[in-house]
Structure 1
Amino acid sequence: MLILLPPSEGKQPAASGAPFDAASLSFPELTPERDIVLHALARASSAEDAHQVLGVGASLAAEVARNLTLRDAPASPAHAVYTGVLYEALGYRSMTPTQAGHANESIVVISALWGAVGFSDRIPAYRLSMSVNLPGVGKLATWWKPRLNAVLSERAGDGLVVDCRSSTYAAAWVPHPENTVSVSVFQLRGGVRKVVSHFAKHTRGEFARHLLTRRNHAPESPAALLAAARQKWDAELIPGTTRKAHQLNIILPEDHSFAG
Structure 2
Amino acid sequence: MLVLLPPSETKTDGGDGRCLALDSLSFPELNPVRRKLADALAELAKDVPASLSALGLSERQHGEVKRNATLWSSPTTPAVLRYTGVLYDALGAGSFTGAVWERARHRLAVASALFGVVRADDPIPAYRLSGTSALPGFGSLRSVWRPVLEPVLGAIDDLVVDLRSGTYAALARVPGAITVRVVTQDAHGRRTTVSHHNKAHKGRFAAALATTACEPSGPEDLVAVARAEGITCEQTGDTTLDVIVGG
- The question of a shared fold, defined as TM-score above 0.5 by the shorter chain, is answered with yes
- Counterparts of 1:53 and 1:81 in 2: how far apart (Å)? 23
Counterparts of 1:181-260 in structure 2, within 5 Å, are 181-188=178-185, 193-215=191-213, 217-231=214-228, 232-240=230-238, 246-254=239-247
- Counterparts of 2:160 and 2:204 in 1: how far apart (Å)? 17
Contact conserved, 2:226 with 2:233, CA < 8 A, in 1? Answer: yes
Partner of 2:53: 52
- Counterparts of 1:18 and 1:136 in 2: how far apart (Å)? 30
Segments of 5+ residues of structure 2 without an aligned counterpart are none
Q: CA 1:10 to 1:162, structure 2 compared with 1: closer, same or farther past 3 Å?
A: same
Q: CA 1:26 to 1:175, structure 2 compared with 1: closer, same or farther past 3 Å?
A: same
- What RMSD, in angstroms, separates the aligned Cα atoms of the two structures? 1.8
Contact conserved, 2:80 with 2:110, CA < 8 A, in 1? Answer: no
Contact conserved, 2:75 with 2:125, CA < 8 A, in 1? Answer: yes
Contact conserved, 1:40 with 1:136, CA < 8 A, in 2? Answer: no
- Counterparts of 1:2 and 1:214 in 2: how far apart (Å)? 13
Amino acid at match of 2:167: T
Partner of 1:27: 27
Question: Kindly, what percent of the aligned residue pairs are identical?
Answer: 41
Question: Within the alignment, does 1:8 sit opposite 2:1 as a pair?
Answer: no
In terms of mean alpha carbon deviation, does 164-173 or 145-154 score higher? 145-154
Amino acid at match of 1:34: R
In terms of mean alpha carbon deviation, does 217-226 or 1-10 score higher? 217-226
Offset at residue 41 of structure 1 (A): 1.4
Offset at residue 56 of structure 1 (A): 1.6
Q: CA 1:15 to 1:175, structure 2 compared with 1: closer, same or farther past 3 Å?
A: closer
- Counterparts of 2:61 and 2:78 in 1: how far apart (Å)? 23
Q: Any idea what the Cα deviations from partners look like across 1:9-44, whole Å, max 9, x if unmatched?
A: 101021555201111111122221111101221233
- Counterparts of 1:141 and 1:190 in 2: how far apart (Å)? 40
Amino acid at match of 1:2: L
Offset at residue 77 of structure 1 (A): 1.1
Q: Any idea what the Cα deviations from partners look like across 1:102-124, whole Å, max 9, x if unmatched?
A: 11101111111111111101110
Amino acid at match of 1:7: P
SS of 2:61's equivalent in the other structure is helix
TM-score by length of 2: 0.91
TM-score by length of 1: 0.87
Q: Any idea what the Cα deviations from partners look like across 1:107-143, whole Å, max 9, x if unmatched?
A: 1111111111111011100000011111111111231
Contact conserved, 2:17 with 2:123, CA < 8 A, in 1? Answer: no
Counterparts of 1:1-260 in structure 2, within 5 Å, are 1-15=1-15, 17-47=17-47, 48-154=49-155, 156-157=156-157, 159-177=158-176, 180-188=177-185, 193-215=191-213, 217-231=214-228, 232-240=230-238, 246-254=239-247
